A and B are shown apart, each in its own frame.
Chain A
Amino acid sequence: MSELLEAPAAGSVTAAPRNYEILPKPTDDGEVGGDLLEVAMGPHHPSTHGVFRMDVVLDGEQVVKLKPVFGYLHRNHEKIAENTTYLASMPYTDRLDYLCSMTNNWAYALSVERLTGLQPPERAEYIRVITAELTRLVNHTCLVGFLLQDMGALGTPLMYAFREREIILDLFESLTGSRMMCNYMRFGGCRVDLPVGWLDQARSALDGYEEFLETFQKFLTENEILVARSQGIGVLPPELAISASITGPMLRASGVNYDLRKVDKYGIYDRFDFRVPLGDHGDVYDRYMIRVLEMQESVKILRQALRDIPGGPIVDPKAKIRGFRPKAGEAYGRIECPKGELGFYLISDGSPNPYRYRVRPPSLINLTVLEDMCLGQTVADAVIILGSVDIVLGEVDR
């Protein structure tokens, strides 16, 4: 027995060398009870949403250790931005979280505006709210579809979600010329004005969206398999969420009332009447439902914005396209992007390039608690927990 007592203690699995694929399974009294299986899920795996790896150690089907490994999609975004002009970084922000280029643009434009003191005109602010909320619809719709795909529904919810997304992407294309890489916001306003008839198209798209949300609810939310698969899975306690600086729907699903649209009231969000849904359990189901409810609130905001949008110029007359050189200084701009708090920190030394450029990516920071949520769950749950975190690897790895 004495040599068995020296078997690794519960915590020491982490210290085992990486090249062993089968590890001894420690038990509470120190006896070796069986084998653990180490599986590298990713970087090419159908459900890691890109090139992301989870090194999981499994006891049967149960996850006893999980290590997220990212960086496969690192593109040096911040360094590139420091070596190029302020304007030329704008299209690169599209590629951070490629599902929500509009909100990325806004966050970057906001921080440059704070740096320079440019003030977007009224109409531009409304257009920004409209496009950002449409982006929120796009992102949450996609997420719901992908989450169901991860649960094993064979493409059908994803296809329904993509069909609706397509309508909004068409709106984006007729406004900005591109479906996903919009590159639309500019420092002190927006690039082009709304085309003729765009607002009517947006209104009719919204009507269809409400209908879709209803049928989607009927189709899925009451489905016993979905409820059984997602409730009580991947619980994130509010204390942990706060101390890990989780933001976005994930934080609100854990019951913490924190929405930058209410806290910062950036842009003109203080003019709209909307509510912030909060979950009580912090599990996958709550994260899913919070997003569905947020979509309903987004539709409400959009209705108000499309009703109230004024005419006028769309860009601050002081804004310069060529030869843009902010005064020396620093600024941090943050917005509530669909995935959480997206911030850009800029230091200017008065040259055409930023001296320091730093992104606070919500996906990456939300991903840091993955192991805490997955421990003790099965490998099938780990997949949907990852899906419910809502990551885009372009933003995680930058």
Chain B
Amino acid sequence: MIADVLNGILLMLWRVVSDQPAPLAALLPALPEALRPVVSAVLCVSPIIGVFATLFALTTLMERKGLGRIQNRLGPNRVGPFGILQPAADGLKMLTKEDIIPRSADKLVHFLAPVALAVPTLLAYAVLPYGRNLVPLDLDAGLLFFFAVGASTELAIFMAGWSSHNKYSLLGAMRAIAQMISYEIPLILSAVTVVMIAGSLSPAHIVARQDGFIWGWVPHWYVLTPWGFVGFLIFTTASLAESNRSPFDLPEAESELIAGHLTEYSGFKYALFFLAEYLGMFAISGLGVTLFLGGWQAPLPGLDWVPSYLWFFSKLILMVFIFIWIRGTVPRLRVDQLLNLAWKFLLPLALINLFTAAIWHFTAVWQFPGALLLRWLLSAVMIGGAYVVLGRALSPRKKVSLRTYRYAT
């Protein structure tokens, strides 16, 4: 029996590594009936926590190194070769630091807030397809589940801000609520476009719909359609705001609110917030990859031999890198500008994009020569026109412009 189990474990690992179907089915029959649900759950959950916690560690290092390079510095390079042990040192430091709870804080809520942030963030990972055969939970309404648990993180941030009994925290929490609720709408609307075209709420199914290549080499990803491209940009912008990343890092807003809702957190609670924020960023980037970048699909024909999960993770890291790049470049928006951008620009643009997607979908029956070009042109005119008009309208009262200056001699 033990030999069976060992055999099953090895077979399961081999199936995972070599991208073969049903890895769990290799192990479960060797186990007693009563153990199967538990083992199955543990085997689904622990790799997610392990892999993404490692990715979090690597990303913090990559971020610091990348920002350093953008600023012509070397970044951390003292702990271990090339600084790769820096995250471990940071983690140890966080663990050994004193955990300070303000005397006037609401202690229970103050304690619960980081937990309440980390748990839903981890739940969101349940529905993402990481590889051809690696979907922890293939829900029919997976997308809905993702957004539902994603929305509950706002509560955790408000808990943190409110319970700290600090004015900066409170301001940060109020900003977070306004920002995250506003950006949820363009985020979901851009995802709805994909749902409309793919005809499914299941992430695995959406990835499957992006299979294959046009003309034999252009992948059939949604980002390579006009509506998908714009949808992807809207999605990326909104996900920057959802994960509180620069230029939408208003809830933390170091130069204004010290650290916003994190002001009164220290030690491992702070680390947990940090972890949850990065996990949230990975989750939402993973969703972006799934919806627009073809999930685990290979970018070129003939690259199918590379395990599918590697494609997923490389796309994920690419998105994270773009997030870091943006963070290293742009200043922060102000609250009213942030909300204006969400409600007056992204929301109408997402709606027009939805309409364009519908037109793209229904013109798919056109078969005459040049039909593809015409469809592209039509979509580009619709979205581009909307972009220009909305962009003009967003600049308030035309008074914001580049200026010329006079000189007194």
Contacts and interface: CB of A to CB of B under 8 A. Distances in A.
A228 B400 contact: yes
A80 interface: no
B171 A225 contact: no
A51 to B, nearest CB: 15
Contacts of A257: 408
A358 interface: no
Interface in B221-272: 246-247, 249-250, 253-258
B122 interface: no
Most chain A CB within a 10 A radius of its CB, from B250, B331, B395: B331
A107 interface: no
Interface in B380-409: 395, 399-403, 405-409
B256 A383 contact: yes
Contacts of B408: 257, 259, 262, 275-276, 278
A379 B403 contact: no
Contact of B171 (A61, A160, A222): A61
Given A39-B168, A156-B71, A150 B255 contact: yes
A210 interface: no
A227 interface: yes
Contact of A154 (B73, B246, B334, B395): B246
Interface string B267-284: 000000000000000000
A223 B330 contact: yes
Interface in B307-332: 327-332
A281 B400 CA distance: 12
B281 to A, nearest CB: 15
Given A151-B332, A152-B253, A232 B71 contact: no
Contacts of A5: none
A216 to B, nearest CB: 13
B327 A154 contact: yes
B255 A232 contact: no
Contacts of A290: 405
Given A47-B256, A378-B336, A229 B71 contact: no
Contacts of A276: 407-409
B399 to A, nearest CB: 6
Given A153-B331, A156-B71, A228-B333, A280 B406 contact: yes
B61 interface: no
B403 A381 contact: no
A293 interface: yes
A228 B397 CA distance: 12
A218 B175 CA distance: 31
Interface string B58-101: 00000000010011110000000000000000000000000000
A381 B334 contact: yes
A226 interface: yes
A232 B332 contact: no
A305 B395 CA distance: 44
Contacts of A280: 403, 405-406
A88 B403 CA distance: 47
A69 interface: no
Nearest to B400: A231
Contacts of B330: 153, 223, 225
A155 interface: yes
How many residues of A sit at the interface, in one of the four size bands?
35 or more
A115 B227 CA distance: 75
A159 B402 contact: no
Contacts of B257: 379
Interface string A206-235: 000000000000000111011111011000
Contact of A383 (B67, B71, B255): B255
Interface in B158-197: 167-168, 170-171, 174-175
Nearest to B395: A228
Interface string A341-360: 00000000000000000000
Contacts of A232: 399-400
Contacts of B399: 231-232
Contacts of A279: 405
Given A39-B168, A152-B249, A226 B331 contact: yes
Nearest to B340: A228
Contacts of B168: 39
A364 interface: no
A79 interface: no
Nearest to A281: B403
B400 A380 contact: no
Contacts of B70: 156
Nearest to A252: B408
B320 to A, nearest CB: 16
Contacts of A226: 331
B343 to A, nearest CB: 16
Nearest to A387: B255
Given A47-B255, A155-B71, A222 B402 contact: yes
Given A152-B246, A152-B247, A228-B400, A380 B253 contact: yes
B402 A378 contact: no
A231 B257 CA distance: 22
Given A61-B171, A155-B67, A378 B254 contact: no
B400 A225 contact: no
Pairs of residues from A and B, 4 with the lowest C-beta to C-beta distance, nearest first:
A152-B332, A159-B71, A151-B331, A275-B407
22 contacts: A37-B170, A149-B255, A151-B332, A153-B329, A153-B331, A154-B246, A156-B329, A163-B72, A223-B331, A225-B331, A227-B400, A227-B402, A231-B401, A232-B400, A278-B405, A278-B406, A280-B406, A285-B403, A293-B405, A379-B256, A379-B257, A380-B335
Interface of B: 67, 70-73, 167-168, 170-171, 174-175, 246-247, 249-250, 253-258, 327-337, 395, 399-403, 405-409
Interface of A: 21, 37, 39, 45-47, 58, 60-61, 148-156, 159-160, 163, 221-223, 225-229, 231-232, 257, 259, 262, 275-281, 285-286, 289-290, 293, 378-381, 383
